[in-house]
């Protein structure tokens, strides 16, 4: 039997490895199982070049739990180790056998070797009082050996008996880590990290992994059903995806994977961190913000690349040119796919726009290269459908349809939009009667999207349909003459000068058409948009969100209802009638709340009781 000290470069490194090598202690299972996969893959390589003699037999990895003896064992049937190899690869911390193997057998399926950090084995000491290795090399006449260490630099190495080729790592779990003696806990970790390993992994007599997941296959060999079934395997309780993109690149970097576009019916369903990163089928992390462009973090699926550099715990990405290349490649693949869908089957693309719009808009805001491509397939939905059929426009199509009517004095295209077609219906109908095209912008990202596009698109300005009276949506029109006298206009301004809590109201009288609304409440485009953005992001909440709402009440002096109101001799009733008109206008903007809304309801009932012959004054 041999004894000795583990050879490290710094005498204090072992306690650091033992306690702080990985932030999550459960990682030790991934590392040890990954090492077992490496040993198995190496054996296959040696066999393929004739260096491993005889039948390989049924290869696999078995996880054994013995709660009574407080041990967890990871056993493989791979290449095993000789006493000399144990001394070289275990006793010399951070000397990686996998890296040496890759160098020696480059070009001979060596890319299937997972581990190349050298410290993975030592993660076992984070949860163990002592660790045993019982191993037998595949080489002829090799003697089985047993290595043992209690977490100090001292170890023992001796010959032992082992019938079969391979390695057993036996962990004697410490008191602080008893959770890893619970079958459900171990099973959950295996399903998280080892679900798609390329070598069968068994626990409690059952194989827990799919060794040949869809992303490792050629796209030509997969059907639509295959892709959908794999999505169910990844996300068992999710609705079927809209479509997917299969990544398969081997130059200038290695990248495989499948990215799915999920159905998103409401903006609040957006979920990030649903893409899983693998390295040679070993799960690494679901935080892929450095690899996947920010706007595509909304996608689901899998990315697998051995070329992505990771730190010693394989948990965080480090800066590397390959990461940028992969990021750019994924962006291009997504843009090409969307353009292809839009060009080849626009009706189908439009049907998916409710979900696709979030991805496209988010990408246009955050990635200028994507913006250049997306200008071809970004579409606006018309707020007014033609029967049951929705209408959509690209920016160029909208420009063509509206150029004659919707250019302002500066020559900019004015895109009129609605954030709530139901609440803003009266404003939309007025705009449509004037010949304007109103488009929907109802998602959480739209407020920011409009601001960004005004800067990025040439000569485009956005105006919400209720930002002003319809006559002024494009340019401030000259005030038209009302049929009212100046005294009557002054009287109406006084009557309409309501000041609800949280509002700053300005009243104006204009001579609009007789069939236009009797009164319209509008808010300045800039301030309203800033408050909308503050409500979504919270970033400006301390400034804009707490400012009073600026509201302009525009009284249509040409509406016949004012002839009736101005003749009303009962001053109290006259004030109530006007106040109801003002409140209805505020209600259309969502600005009538609390006690003011309660007062409006009570006042309406009171007016009905006062004069049952007169209809309720409505808009």
Cβ-contact 558, 483 below 8 angstroms: yes
CATH of the domain at 535: 1.20.120.790
371 domain residue, yes or no: no
464: domain CATH number is 3.40.50.11260
Among residues 146, 178, 207, the one where a domain terminates is 207
Q: Do 46 and 97 fall into the same domain?
A: yes
How many angstroms separate the Cα of 497 from the Cα of each of 40, 508, 582? 83, 10, 9
Question: Which pLDDT does position 252 carry in this prediction?
Answer: 82
The pLDDT score that the predictor gives to residue 111 is 45
CA angle 165-78-9, nearest 5°? 105
Residue 111 domain flag = yes
Establish if 352 belongs to a structural domain. no
pLDDT band per the 50, 70, 90 thresholds, residue 295: confident
Range in 251-265, 291-305, 385-399, 505-519 with the lowest mean pLDDT: 505-519
Q: What's the pLDDT tens digit per position in 597-607?
A: 888 888 888 88
Which is higher by pLDDT, 343 or 532?
343
Q: Among 191-195, 275-279, 319-323, 585-589, where is mean pLDDT lowest?
A: 319-323
Q: What is the pLDDT of residue 215?
A: 96
- 91 and 72 in a single domain? The answer is yes
Same domain, 172 and 310: no
- Structural domains in the chain (count): 4
- Which of 495-499, 575-579, 588-592, 612-616 comes out lowest in average pLDDT? 612-616
Task: Mark which of 445, 472, 499 sits at the end of a domain.
Answer: 472
DSSP string for residues in 182-242 = SHHHHHHHHHHHSTT-SS-EEETTEE---SS-GGGS-GGG--HHHHHHHHHHH-TTSPPPS
CATH number at residue 107: 3.30.565.10
List, for residues 255-272, the tens digit of each pLDDT value: 999 999 988 765 544 566
- Host domain of residue 248: 214-344
**Do 468 and 492 share a domain, yes or no?**
no
493 and 509 inside one domain: yes
Q: pLDDT tens, 120-149?
A: 788 888 899 999 999 999 998 899 999 999
Do 134 and 222 reside in the same domain of the chain? no
- Backbone CA torsion sign across 95, 98, 103, 104: positive
Q: How far apart are CA 356 and CA 588, in angstroms?
A: 30
Q: What CATH number does the domain containing 270 carry?
A: 3.30.230.80
Query: Which helix or strand (DSSP H or E) is residue 595 part of?
Result: helix 594-610
Q: Are residues 51 and 175 in the same domain?
A: yes
| pLDDT attached to residue 178 | 95
Cβ neighbours of residue 418 closer than 8 Å, sequence gap 6 or more: 383, 424, 427, 428, 438, 439, 440, 441, 442, 464, 465, 466
For residue 354, tell me if it sits in a domain: no
* Residue 422 shares a structural domain with residue 559: no
> Does 350 fall in a domain?
no
Cα–Cα separations (whole angstroms), residue 587 to 494, 580, 598, 604: 20, 10, 12, 14
503 and 595 within one domain = yes
Kindly provide the residue ranges of all beta strands, DSSP E only, lying in 370-434, ordered along the sequence.
380-381, 392-393, 413-418
Count CB neighbours of 158 within 10 A.
Answer: 13
HSE toward the beta carbon, residue 508, CA cutoff 13 A: 15
Q: Could you tell me the CA-to-CA distances from 568 to 226, 561, 565 in Å, in that order?
A: 75, 11, 5
171 and 251 share a domain? no
The answer to whether residues 336 and 376 touch, using CB atoms and an 8 Å cutoff, is no
CA–CA gap between residue 62 and residue 65 (Å, rounded): 10
Clarify whether residues 194 and 280 are in a common domain: no
Evaluate whether residue 35 is within a structural domain: yes
DSSP 287-349: --TTTS-GGGGG-EEEEE-TTS-B-TTS-SB---HHHHHHHHHHHHHHHHHHHHHHHH-HHHH
What confidence score (pLDDT) does residue 535 get?
Answer: 63
Terminal-to-terminal C-alpha distance of the chain: 97
The answer to whether the Cα torsion of 350, 354, 356, 361 is positive or negative is positive
In a domain, 410, yes or no: yes
The last residue of one of the domains, among 158, 189, 207, is 207
pLDDT higher at 92 or 310: 92
Residues 197 and 246 in one domain: no
pTM of the model: 0.73
Residue 368 belongs to some domain of the structure: no
């Amino acid at each position: 039997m041999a004894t000795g000290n583990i050879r490290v470069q710094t005498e204090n490194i072992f306690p650091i490895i033992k306690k702080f090598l990985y932030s999550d202690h459960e990682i030790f299972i991934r590392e040890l199982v990954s090492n077992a996969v490496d040993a198995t893959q190496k054996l296959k390589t040696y066999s393929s070049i004739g260096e491993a003699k005889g039948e390989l037999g049924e290869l696999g990895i078995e996880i054994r739990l013995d709660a009574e003896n407080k041990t967890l064992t990871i056993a493989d049937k791979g290449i095993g180790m000789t006493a000399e190899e144990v001394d070289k690869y275990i006793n010399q911390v951070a000397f990686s056998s996998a890296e040496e193997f890759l160098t020696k057998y480059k070009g001979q399926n060596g890319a299937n070797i997972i581990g190349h950090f050298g410290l993975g084995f030592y993660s076992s000491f984070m949860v163990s009082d002592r660790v045993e290795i019982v191993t037998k090399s595949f080489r002829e006449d090799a003697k089985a050996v047993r290595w043992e260490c209690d977490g100090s630099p001292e170890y023992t190495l001796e010959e032992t008996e082992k019938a079969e080729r391979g390695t057993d790592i036996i962990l004697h779990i410490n008191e602080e880590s008893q959770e890893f003696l619970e079958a459900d806990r171990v099973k959950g970790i295996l399903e998280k990290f080892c679900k798609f390993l390329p070598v069968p992994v068994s626990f409690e007599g059952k194989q827990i992994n799919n060794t040949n997941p869809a992303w490792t296959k050629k796209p030509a060999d997969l059907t639509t059903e295959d892709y959908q079934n794999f999505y169910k395997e990844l996300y068992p309780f999710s609705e079927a995806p809209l479509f997917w993109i299969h990544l398969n690149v081997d130059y200038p970097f290695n990248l495989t994977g499948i990215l799915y576009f999920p159905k998103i019916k409401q903006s609040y369903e957006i979920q990030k961190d649903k893409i899983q990163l693998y390295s040679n089928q070993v799960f690494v992390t679901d935080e892929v913000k450095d690899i996947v462009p920010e706007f595509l973090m909304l996608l689901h699926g899998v990315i697998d690349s051995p070329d992505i550099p990771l730190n010693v715990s394989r948990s965080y990405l480090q800066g590397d040119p390959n990461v940028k290349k992969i990021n750019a490649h994924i962006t291009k693949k997504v843009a090409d796919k969307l353009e292809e869908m839009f060009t080849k089957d626009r009706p189908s693309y439009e049907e998916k726009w409710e979900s696709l719009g979030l991805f496209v808009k988010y990408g246009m805001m955050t990635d200028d290269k994507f913006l250049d491509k997306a200008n071809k397939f970004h579409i606006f939905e018309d707020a007014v459908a033609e029967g049951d059929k929705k209408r959509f426009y690209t920016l160029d199509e909208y420009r063509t349809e509206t150029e004659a009517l919707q250019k302002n004095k500066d020559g900019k295209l004015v895109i009129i939009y609605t954030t709530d077609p139901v609440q803003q219906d009266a404003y939309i109908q007025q705009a449509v009667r004037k010949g304007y095209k109103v488009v929907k912008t109802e998602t959480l990202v739209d407020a920011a999207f409009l601001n960004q596009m005004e800067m990025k698109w040439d000569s485009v300005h956005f105006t919400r349909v209720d930002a002003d009276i319809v006559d002024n949506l494009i340019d401030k029109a000259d005030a038209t003459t009302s049929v009212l006298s100046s005294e009557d206009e002054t009287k109406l301004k006084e009557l309409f000068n309501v000041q609800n809590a949280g509002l700053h109201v300005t009243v104006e009288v204009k001579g609009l058409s007789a069939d236009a609304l009797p009164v319209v409440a509008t808010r300045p485009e800039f301030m309203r948009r800033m408050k909308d953005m503050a409500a979504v992001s919270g970033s400006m909440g301390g400034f804009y969100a707490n400012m009073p709402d600026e509201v302009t009440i525009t009284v249509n002096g040409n509406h016949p209802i004012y002839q009736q109101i101005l003749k009303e001799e009962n001053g109290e009733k006259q004030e109530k009638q006007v106040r109801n008109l003002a409140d209805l206008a505020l209600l259309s903007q969502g600005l009538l709340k609390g006690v003011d809304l309660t007062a409006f309801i009570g006042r309406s009932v009171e007016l009905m009781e006062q004069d049952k012959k007169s209809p309720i004054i409505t808009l």
